[in-house]
Amino acid sequence: MKTSPFTSITIYSILFCCPAAFAGSPVIPPPLEKIIAHVSVENSGDQARLDTVLHLVVDELDLKTQAEVRELVVYHGDRPLPTQPLDADGNGEVETVATMVDLEGGERLSLKVVIDESVAAARPWPRRTQAELSRKIGGAWEEGGYVGGDFVNVASLTFDGQLPYPNDFMRYEGPGWESDKVGYRLYLDHRNGMDVFGKLVPAMVLQNVGTKEFGSYHEPAVWGMDILKVGSSLGMGGFGAWSEGEAYRVSETDRTRCSVLSNGPLLSQIMLEYEGWKSPEGETDLKTILSIEAGSYLTKATLMLERALPMMVAGIPKHPDVQWLRGETDMGNERWTYLAAYGPQSLFGDHLGLVVFVRGDNFGGFAEDKHNQLIRLKINNGRASYQFGAVWESSTEEAASLAGFNRWIESALNRLEHEPEIIIPTIDYP
């Protein structure tokens, strides 16, 4: 194993350490006449939950207008908590409001939901997630790729079929999303694989990735680097169809649209819409939403099929000298299982832990093909969801040993299986 080149910048990482959910929030008593709901949140598990993102359903708050929804702030006592309105499906309306708390095991908190125009406008909270889509403009397509032009961030991009590869049209070959822990990207071409950016600092970094020559992110930098060899696999948590013992990527479509659905301090989302996907099990439309939350290594993937296929899969690339770990196979619909890989599989040669989590109602068994170890995904009412994550030895001690990685998996499972209970007992709209 190589010696890490990142030891010398440990102080840099400490200087940017992220605050706890309550830390740094100013003491600002809420306007009492604009309290619209009292919310009770309880941690049913015995494990402390730092950086827990809660989702309050707007329909349960009995608000009059979308403008009021966007002015909501959640308070704990006299402290406004980080709050983010979310349009979960891209229809232009806010369906949920996210906030963040820290919960001890078994703890119950009382929160207030307030219409607070001044705090909502200022949003004085650190950015802990980001999503972006950066393409070139001002150049031209020529044989071999896109020539000239400058990169600009856009809210969405639509094109027929797939982008050619390689092309130098996207800043790092597709959309990217990150938390203060880790970053990911998706190849927006026929490969449709997902890759990992290992991070050494909690600050947001994607805006600076790929701004130099193409592929420069494969070399160590102050912020981190691309750390995964994807090759012909689905990539880290990549999705595809399962047919006759093989995983098939989303490689042939009539039209593809990629959008930044959310880009906020607590949660960021990328939406991918594939029209006319020609899978070996038939043609269908596929919509995928990829979400990441502050303080988390995990991305949640939700797959929605216009015509359900018999089985989808999520994968982890096969690499040499890797130990494969698997969770239970008979755990009922409510509990979770996992597929994981640990070993010296980063592009730098140090240890990297990769994992895919799936709940029992979407679990269709383990499988493998030439390039991937896989979890098969059962489709329920045209949908399937799962979560995936990567932890890197150069970034966290949890990836420095197999025992540490196993402890991290068990902690993540505990969080997945003990979501906090949210109760809105009273509505006090004036």
177 contact partners, CB below 8 Å, separation of at least 6? 129, 130, 131, 132, 183, 184, 185, 206, 268, 269, 270, 290, 292, 299
pLDDT of residue 249: 97
Average pLDDT over residues 411-418: 96
Domains and CATH numbers, the chain: 29-125+422-427 (2.60.40), 130-399 (2.70.98)
pLDDT of residue 404: 98
pLDDT band at 10 (very low <50, low <70, confident <90, very high): very low
- Is it true that the peptide bond before 166 is cis, omega within 30 degrees of 0? yes
Q: How confident is the model at residue 176 (pLDDT cuts 50, 70, 90)?
A: very high
pLDDT for the residue 28 = 67
Q: Tell me the average pLDDT of the chain.
A: 90
Please give the pLDDT value at position 236: 98
pLDDT for the residue 167: 84
- pLDDT band for 21, please (50, 70, 90 cuts): very low
Cα 269 to Cα 38, 310, 377: the distances in Å are 28, 27, 21
DSSP letters, 144-172, are: TEEES-EEEE-SEEEEES-B-SS-S-BTT
- Pick from 117-121, 401-405, 422-426: least confident: 422-426
* The residue type at 28: I
Q: Please check the confidence at residue 280 and state whether its pLDDT lies above 90.
A: yes
Task: Name the pLDDT band for 27 (thresholds 50, 70, 90).
Answer: low
pLDDT value for 426: 47
Q: Is the pLDDT of residue 413 over 70?
A: yes
Question: Parallel, antiparallel, or unpaired for β 363-368 and 372-377?
Answer: antiparallel
Tell me the C-alpha distance between 38 and 162, whole Å. Answer: 48
* 377, β-bridge pairs: 312, 363
Q: Give the DSSP letter of residue 17.
A: P
Residue 201, SS3 per DSSP:
coil
Whole-angstrom distance, CA of residue 290 vs CA of residue 133 = 13
Q: In this prediction, what percent of the chain has a pLDDT beyond 70?
A: 90
Long-range contacts of 133-141 (CB under 8 A, 24+ apart): 133/157, 133/170, 133/174, 133/175, 133/176, 133/258, 133/259, 133/260, 133/270, 134/170, 134/171, 134/172, 134/210, 135/169, 135/170, 135/171, 136/168, 136/169, 136/170
- The mean per-residue pLDDT over the stretch 41-46 comes to 92
pLDDT at 3: 47
What's the burial of 12, exposed, middle or buried (CB within 10 Å: 0-12/13-18/19+)? middle
Identify the weakest region by mean pLDDT among 122-131, 269-278, 419-428. Answer: 419-428
Only one residue has tokens 């043609």, namely 283
CA distance 109 to 130: 28
High-pLDDT (> 90) share of the chain, %:
77
Q: Is the pLDDT of residue 32 over 80?
A: no
pLDDT at 425: 63
- Mean pLDDT along residues 105-110: 95
> Is residue 396 predicted with pLDDT exceeding 60?
yes
Q: What is the pLDDT of residue 215?
A: 62
| Model pLDDT, residue 213 | 66
**Residue owning tokens 């909270």:** 125
Residue 250 has pLDDT above 60, yes or no: yes
d(CA 314, CA 188): 17
> Are the C-beta atoms of 289 and 305 separated by less than 8 Å?
no
Q: What is the pLDDT of residues 197-229, one digit of tens each?
A: 999 999 999 999 998 766 678 899 999 999 999
The CA–CA distances, whole Å, from 42 to 109, 110, 158, 315, 393 equal 6, 9, 43, 34, 33
Residue 20 clears pLDDT 80, i.e. is over it? no
Query: How far is CA 49 from each of CA 24, 243, 415, rounded to the nearest angstrom?
Result: 19, 39, 7
User: Which two tokens mark 71?
Assistant: 């002015």
- Closest CA relative to residue 303, chosen from 237, 255, 243, 244: 237
Would you give the DSSP letter of residue 239? E
Spatial distance between the Cα atoms of 130 and 263, rounded to a whole number of angstroms? 5
Least confidently predicted of 22-26, 318-322, 333-337: 22-26
| pLDDT for 424 | 81
pTM: 0.92
